[in-house]
Structure 1
Amino acid sequence: MKSIEDYVHLEPAYYQDVLANYQQLFGKYFTASEIVQIDSVTIYATGSSSNAAYGALPFMSKVLGMPVQIEEPSIAENYLLNVKQGTLCIAISQGGHSYSVVKLVQRLQELNQRVYTLTSEADSPVAQVSQNLLMMGMPVEEMPYVSAGYSVEILDLMLISLTIAKNKGRISADQFDQIFTQINNVIHQLSEVIKRSSAWVDKNLPQFNKAKRLQFIGYGSAYGVSREGETKTTEAVRISSWGKELEEYMHGPYLGLMREDFIIFLEPNGELQEREERLKKFLRQHVDHVYTIYANEAVNKQENDLELKVKTDELLTALFMTVPVHLLAYRLSQEKGNDLEHSAYPDFDQITESKI
């Protein structure tokens, strides 16, 4: 079975495949006639798929020029099924076995609401019930703790948004080509991002291995990265972990600080960088371990910070900023001797029926 790290190294190839085939994957579903009435987007996702959606969200909102929101499938199905006409519904289940997503898709379709289901497994339960199936454009990920699939979902959502925006006239053909080229340029730098991230993790792994609590803080497209940091650290490393948005953290959670906490900032070199620097200045007075992962270069680089050196629009940084987070989670899990190939609680799905 491939590991999380194996799949991180496969991301450049998966990204290139999706870029090369985006018209076949998405173009035929979102033609001008199909999307003429769309005036908002709701994404239904949970876990890493939800984190990926938050990574793509700022880009989608800007390109589409319409409201875009993310909802938990279970909450939506049981309490929030008031979908207005003109809403594009996208349900995501990478493996296609999520009980809550399957039930949500069925309920929406019973209400005659068109919902597009994004998955990597064509024969999965969610694929079997879905009337409008979108394939992610990558093989089924063998490792249950997904990494490449999370990243590909971000790219898929960006390309779906670009396709819709172009066909609705929200952006011109030239603007589409410019953004597409920017995305392609990011992907071409991904191998170097993996190398820099790997070296950074190796250097700092002995210190991170002492962590009892790990907190990730990000904003904009890096908020999704911070959420994924919480998810993967909790799943794979099995220590206390949180992923917070910058302002959310400043409105209460900072009061639970402990001197021995480890804090990782995800800095997309964007609009709120100065705001984040102020928070770091405060935290360095109270916490011994504060790190920053920069999308490009640091403003005030500390010894153990990581510069990924990718100069791009901050809205595209979710495509690559999770690489060091995934590598850190995987290598820490191995340091702690955690077996990621077999479930730590094999009776969980059987009892809870969380997967179909």
Structure 2
Amino acid sequence: MITEYLKETPEKLKLIIENSRDLFAEVKKQDINRIIITGSGTSYHSGAQVQQKMREISGISVEAYYPFLITKELLASDANHTLFVGISQGGSSYSTYNVMKMAKDLGCKVASMAGAENALIDEPSDYILTVLCGEEKAGAKTKGFYSTKLNLLLLALSIGQENGTLNQDEYDEIIETLKNTADHFLNVYYSAETWVNNNADRLKHAKEIRIVGTKELYGDTLESALKLLETMRVPVTGYEFEEFIHGIYNAVNEDSTIIVLNPSNDPRIEKLINVLSEWTNNIYVIGTKVEGLEEEKNFVIESGDNYLYNSFVYPIAIQLICAVVPKLKGIDPSRPKDPQFHMKLESKKLNR
């Protein structure tokens, strides 16, 4: 099921781009100088990954927070000019819904980004900015992650063009980059599929996994860790490179599996891999090839420093690990361990 959703992703991305002018036509005209994004899990990771690019292209402040970090004090500054964006792919998260209501009560403009229409989080919203990714029944979401990142970027693009941060040529260039990225998505998918199958027998024995990524891919790093944890059902953590070398490395041993997201030619990353290789044989690299690492453990992505491209293709290989490897362990990666968990915890609205 996960693989089918991944293969649907490029067409969903193109659909979202095609509909973006109409979707953001009203909200982009509002007097906004601050955007706050909130959501849990994958929804938060979407905002965390694109917030810096959104700042660049919109020319305004953009911040991503988990719902539990949202307070009245955080929202008190210039609430009337703040766009508060609540994200929930299923649209039924009570934690997101509750802080959206609080933001509205404090005077913020409130928008929802759900992956379905008539969602719970649409109720308190002034602007319903539905993510046109379609239904995703797998517990571990994939196409929704890419689609939400794109929806957020297109929101920022619309605002940036409206307020003069971007001229028409700059706007068109970014749109073209996003379209080209969608066109290349399946090429990376099929290459990643081969790489995962070549390493699957080793990966199924992973006892604990660390994902290490550069700051440009921090949201993708967190999302990769979450997806592996949900599907592999072993301890998984994700760290930005600088944070990892400030102490996390102490926990690496012969049982550790390390996956490095390596979009740059930073020589320190290769040095880190060389040091860690003295402690574990289970190191894999996605991105720039690392010399000295076994050939089959390098999944090379030729992308240069194209941030937008990298953010939409680097997670693919890890999501395919999530689709393929758990089955070798007797786990259905599309089915949560307890499908009734959120109902028992009353953390999501029951869809009838």
TM-score with structure 1 length normalisation? 0.91
Q: In 2 relative to 1, CA 79–142 (structure 1 residues): closer, same or farther, beyond 3 Å?
A: farther
Is 1:222 equivalent to 2:217 in the alignment?
Answer: yes
Is 1:237 equivalent to 2:232 in the alignment?
Answer: yes
CA distance in 2, matches of 1:200, 1:351: 39
1:198-277, aligned counterparts within 5 Å? 198-269=193-264, 273-277=266-270
Q: Find the residue that maps to 1:244 and give its secondary structure.
A: strand
Percent identity, aligned pairs only, is 24
2:53 is aligned to: 59
Q: In 2 relative to 1, CA 59–24 (structure 1 residues): closer, same or farther, beyond 3 Å?
A: same
Residue 352 of structure 1: which of 317, 335, 345 is its match?
A: 345
CA contact (8 A) 2:104 2:124 kept: no
Which amino acid in 2 is paired with 1:113?
C
CA distance in 1, matches of 2:77, 2:136: 32
Report how far residue 13 of structure 1 moved. 0.8
Name the count of aligned residue pairs.
346
Q: Find the residue that maps to 1:235 and give its secondary structure.
A: helix
Report how far residue 284 of structure 1 moved. 1.9
Which amino acid in 2 is paired with 1:348?
F
CA contact (8 A) 1:119 1:135 kept: yes
CA contact (8 A) 1:186 1:312 kept: no
Report how far residue 158 of structure 1 moved. 1.1
Residue 20 of structure 2: which of 12, 19, 22 is its match?
A: 22
CA contact (8 A) 2:75 2:106 kept: no
2:168 is aligned to: 173
1:300 is aligned to: 291
- Per-residue CA deviations over 1:140-198 (Å, capped at 9, x if unaligned) read 22222210001111111111111111111111111111111112111111110001110
Q: Find the residue that maps to 1:320 and give its secondary structure.
A: helix
List gaps (5 residues or longer) in structure 1: none
Report how far residue 77 of structure 1 moved. 4.7
2:2 is aligned to: 4
Which amino acid in 2 is paired with 1:321?
Y
Instruction: Single out whichever of 219-228 and 144-153 deviates more from structure 2.
Output: 219-228
1:161 is aligned to: 156
- Per-residue CA deviations over 1:228-247 (Å, capped at 9, x if unaligned) read 11111111110110111111
- Per-residue CA deviations over 1:216-274 (Å, capped at 9, x if unaligned) read 1112332112111111111111011011111111111111111221101112237xx33
CA contact (8 A) 1:60 1:68 kept: yes
CA contact (8 A) 2:259 2:284 kept: yes
CA distance in 2, matches of 1:71, 1:329: 26
Q: In 2 relative to 1, CA 29–5 (structure 1 residues): closer, same or farther, beyond 3 Å?
A: same
Q: Find the residue that maps to 1:69 and give its secondary structure.
A: strand
Residue 139 of structure 2: which of 127, 144, 154 is its match?
A: 144
- Per-residue CA deviations over 1:100-150 (Å, capped at 9, x if unaligned) read 011111111122211111112112211233232111122122222210001
List gaps (5 residues or longer) in structure 2: none
CA contact (8 A) 2:254 2:280 kept: yes
CA distance in 2, matches of 1:278, 1:54: 27
Q: In 2 relative to 1, CA 276–69 (structure 1 residues): closer, same or farther, beyond 3 Å?
A: farther
- Over the aligned positions, Cα root-mean-square deviation in angstroms equals 2.0
- Per-residue CA deviations over 1:48-96 (Å, capped at 9, x if unaligned) read 1111222212321222343322111123158744343333221111110
CA distance in 2, matches of 1:274, 1:40: 37
CA contact (8 A) 1:59 1:316 kept: no
CA contact (8 A) 1:54 1:224 kept: yes
Q: In 2 relative to 1, CA 173–264 (structure 1 residues): closer, same or farther, beyond 3 Å?
A: same
CA distance in 1, matches of 2:167, 2:334: 46
1:128 is aligned to: 123
1:312-327, aligned counterparts within 5 Å? 313-327=306-320
1:182 is aligned to: 177
CA distance in 2, matches of 1:347, 1:177: 45
Q: Find the residue that maps to 1:129 and give its secondary structure.
A: coil
CA contact (8 A) 1:230 1:241 kept: yes
CA contact (8 A) 1:43 1:89 kept: yes
